[in-house]
Structure 1
């Protein structure tokens, strides 16, 4: 039996656009600020925690839903001595955007960020918890589970559109402002496996190192080095889900040894690479 302090991951090869995590006793969990490529939603099942999303700090507890846009830096950690249990779900943003377009919730297949960090709604909370239990059950088929996912998120996003005050037909494409820091972020994403010194990268883009590190952290809520490590962890997660060996993955995603990979991975995923690779389906 899996100890209650260990996270449980649910995945289905036929539903590769969704991943679910259940933590029953997370009082000793500690997340470093990190981000995901997916759109994420979670439910606090027990206890209280602090939820930092970008530069916004929320106090959340049982009954709260939390939501995170792709690539937004966040961290959710239990309050001191508080029992803490939660579900966390990650959804591929392309799948979700297409689903919302198909059902007339959004006017474009391009992903559009949501504007809500937390939601206190008994109905949506209870339905989400029931959805998570449904996914983790072995009694239902992949097709039935996909239908349940679609039904829940169509209803949720209809509601979020009203909360956000954004008419469905007028949801415009989000254009990033012209900022050279985005070019640096793209560079770090593309060359995240290289150990190019930050001093060299800042000079390449015409910044002094001190200014570059301050400006990057202020803009992305993460230092350039942490941003690069976060991308390596994301690549590691993809490889582990495919069943690759931990030592092999550590080397492939740019870590000097398996122990270093495990330390960095656990700070951002709150699970060891071995725990993450194992899943119920």
Structure 2
């Protein structure tokens, strides 16, 4: 767990350092984010989802995971729309910051080192990639176009998004058991390998050259997204998994640990891509990444 967090912090630090030294400017953050969004992340999703066991998502753990996501996401969207009059796109980014966990580059090592099986993060990973992300991107696409998303937008628009396409290709490979020929698989894997470091470097550059911590984001809004992510999501997941579904032992620990992971860095990439609540996404990732270490440690101590 410590190794996973330390690796993330180190790469973010490199991004901040090269920005501080003047090697790159704020424009580099935009370039890295766009490359990660349009090129590297879809390639990573192809290889990641193709290796996942899709049957793992169809379990009782999924119900608890869905509840853990739905409550904080809906809570933020409702309060932000009423209190701060956020647009639908801004509400989507805030809701994702409150509930979309770092199941990839942090969840996999945490599941492996803390839970003893990297596959235990599969329900969370596949739920986010196959359901949450496509729906969120459909709303963001519609918001950029200045109109409310229709049913057609929600159903069809995600299939024009590179992240959704990468996810679906990986799902097809997983379900059918097909394998890409090496002449295709090797370049895809190599390109996908730059997704996570690209996101982290872009995040570090934004931390150094972007608006100061908080920026124009109300402190109460940042506190809301951070507390929903760090406290509400794991508590809801625990309550549903243990009291409603009767999970105990290692399966219960897996659900709660996965729900306690910090906000994923790719939410900052989405916020940058659509120019919606960028500072809120950036700062929520920072707060939850720091706060998740004691939270996960406490969860393992109580339930492990």
TM band (smaller chain): under 0.3
Give the TM-score normalised by structure 2. Answer: 0.23
More helix by share: 2
TM-score (norm 1): 0.24
Higher relative contact order at CA 8 Å, sep ≥6: structure 1 or structure 2? 2
